[in-house]
Amino acid sequence: DVKVTQSSRYLVKRTGEKVFLECVQDMDHENMFWYRQDPGLGLRLIYFSYDVKMKEKGDIPEGYSVSREKKERFSLILESASTNQTSMYLCASSLWTPWGRGETQYFGPGTRLLVL
Protein backbone atom coordinates (compact mmCIF):
# COMPACT_ATOMS: atom_id res chain seq x y z
CA ASP A 1 0.00 0.00 0.00
CA VAL A 2 1.41 3.37 -1.01
CA LYS A 3 2.20 5.70 1.82
CA VAL A 4 3.07 9.34 2.37
CA THR A 5 3.57 10.34 5.97
CA GLN A 6 3.92 13.76 7.52
CA SER A 7 5.71 14.33 10.79
CA SER A 8 2.85 15.99 12.66
CA ARG A 9 -0.93 16.27 12.27
CA TYR A 10 -1.12 19.41 14.39
CA LEU A 11 1.56 21.97 15.23
CA VAL A 12 1.49 25.21 17.22
CA LYS A 13 4.38 27.63 16.85
CA ARG A 14 5.14 31.22 17.80
CA THR A 15 5.83 34.08 15.42
CA GLY A 16 9.50 34.19 14.44
CA GLU A 17 10.19 30.53 15.17
CA LYS A 18 11.87 28.32 12.58
CA VAL A 19 9.51 25.51 11.63
CA PHE A 20 10.33 22.22 9.93
CA LEU A 21 7.63 20.11 8.30
CA GLU A 22 8.80 16.67 7.26
CA CYS A 23 7.36 14.39 4.60
CA VAL A 24 8.41 10.82 3.84
CA GLN A 25 7.23 8.57 1.00
CA ASP A 26 7.91 4.87 0.63
CA MET A 27 7.14 4.50 -3.09
CA ASP A 28 10.54 5.46 -4.56
CA HIS A 29 8.89 8.41 -6.31
CA GLU A 30 11.01 11.00 -8.08
CA ASN A 31 8.60 13.93 -7.59
CA MET A 32 7.58 15.43 -4.27
CA PHE A 33 5.38 18.44 -3.63
CA TRP A 34 4.38 20.81 -0.84
CA TYR A 35 1.00 22.55 -0.93
CA ARG A 36 -0.88 24.74 1.47
CA GLN A 37 -4.65 24.78 1.70
CA ASP A 38 -6.72 27.71 2.91
CA PRO A 39 -10.51 28.16 2.95
CA GLY A 40 -11.75 29.62 -0.31
CA LEU A 41 -8.34 29.37 -1.97
CA GLY A 42 -8.02 25.64 -2.57
CA LEU A 43 -4.64 23.95 -2.71
CA ARG A 44 -1.71 26.09 -3.79
CA LEU A 45 1.69 24.72 -4.70
CA ILE A 46 4.59 26.06 -2.63
CA TYR A 47 7.57 24.06 -3.91
CA PHE A 48 8.21 20.82 -5.68
CA SER A 49 11.21 18.62 -6.30
CA TYR A 50 11.79 16.23 -9.19
CA ASP A 51 15.01 14.72 -7.89
CA VAL A 52 17.32 14.68 -4.90
CA LYS A 53 18.77 18.13 -4.23
CA MET A 54 16.59 19.62 -6.98
CA LYS A 55 13.77 22.07 -6.27
CA GLU A 56 11.44 24.31 -8.19
CA LYS A 57 9.28 27.17 -6.96
CA GLY A 58 5.54 26.76 -7.15
CA ASP A 59 2.92 29.48 -7.06
CA ILE A 60 3.60 30.83 -3.55
CA PRO A 61 7.22 30.16 -2.46
CA GLU A 62 7.73 33.40 -0.52
CA GLY A 63 8.56 32.79 3.13
CA TYR A 64 9.35 29.11 2.56
CA SER A 65 12.34 26.98 1.65
CA VAL A 66 12.71 23.26 1.06
CA SER A 67 15.30 20.55 1.37
CA ARG A 68 15.58 17.18 -0.34
CA GLU A 69 18.74 15.36 0.71
CA LYS A 70 17.29 11.87 0.23
CA LYS A 71 14.85 10.63 -2.37
CA GLU A 72 12.22 9.60 0.15
CA ARG A 73 12.23 12.77 2.27
CA PHE A 74 11.14 16.31 1.43
CA SER A 75 11.20 19.01 4.08
CA LEU A 76 9.41 22.34 4.13
CA ILE A 77 11.05 25.07 6.18
CA LEU A 78 9.49 28.25 7.48
CA GLU A 79 12.55 30.34 8.29
CA SER A 80 10.64 32.78 10.50
CA ALA A 81 7.04 31.78 10.98
CA SER A 82 4.38 34.44 10.65
CA THR A 83 0.68 34.38 11.46
CA ASN A 84 -0.25 34.45 7.76
CA GLN A 85 1.42 31.05 7.43
CA THR A 86 -1.25 29.48 9.61
CA SER A 87 -2.67 26.88 7.27
CA MET A 88 -3.05 23.21 6.37
CA TYR A 89 0.12 21.90 4.72
CA LEU A 90 -0.08 18.90 2.42
CA CYS A 91 2.75 16.84 1.01
CA ALA A 92 2.44 14.67 -2.09
CA SER A 93 4.62 12.45 -4.23
CA SER A 94 4.44 11.00 -7.73
CA LEU A 95 6.48 9.13 -10.28
CA TRP A 96 8.29 11.14 -12.93
CA THR A 97 6.25 11.46 -16.07
CA PRO A 98 6.59 12.94 -19.55
CA TRP A 99 5.63 16.54 -20.02
CA GLY A 100 1.92 17.27 -20.02
CA ARG A 101 0.74 13.94 -18.79
CA GLY A 102 0.87 14.45 -15.06
CA GLU A 103 1.29 11.37 -12.93
CA THR A 104 -0.96 10.38 -10.05
CA GLN A 105 -0.07 12.25 -6.88
CA TYR A 106 -0.33 10.53 -3.52
CA PHE A 107 -1.01 12.80 -0.59
CA GLY A 108 -0.18 12.65 3.08
CA PRO A 109 -2.78 13.38 5.76
CA GLY A 110 -1.71 17.00 6.18
CA THR A 111 -0.25 19.11 8.98
CA ARG A 112 -2.44 21.80 10.46
CA LEU A 113 -0.08 24.59 11.55
CA LEU A 114 -1.13 27.40 13.85
CA VAL A 115 1.27 30.32 14.24
CA LEU A 116 0.53 32.50 17.24
Name beta bridge partners: 88.
37, 112
Q: Tell me which stretch binds another protein (CB under 8 A): 12-20, 51-59, 64-72, 77-85.
A: 51-59
Binding positions for another protein, 12-41, rule CB under 8 A: 31, 33, 35, 40-41
Please check whether residue 43 is in contact with residue 23, taking contact to mean a CB–CB distance below 8 angstroms. no
Nearer to another protein, 48 or 74 (CB): 48
Residue 104 binds to another protein (criterion: CB under 8 A) = yes
Of residues 14, 56, 82, 116, which one binds another protein by CB under 8 A? 56
Number of DSSP helices (H) and strands (E) in the chain, helices first: 0, 11
Q: Which of 25, 19, 24 is nearest to 2 (CA)?
A: 25
Between 11 and 45, name the residue whose CB sits nearer to another protein.
45
CB of 58 to another protein, least distance (A): 7
93 binding another protein? (CB under 8 A)? no
C-alpha–C-alpha distance, residues 107 and 28, integer Å: 14
d(CA 116, CA 32): 28
d(Cα 104, Cα 116) in Å, to the nearest integer? 35
Residues near another protein, by CB under 8 A: 4, 31, 33, 35, 40-45, 48, 56, 58-59, 90, 92, 97, 99-110
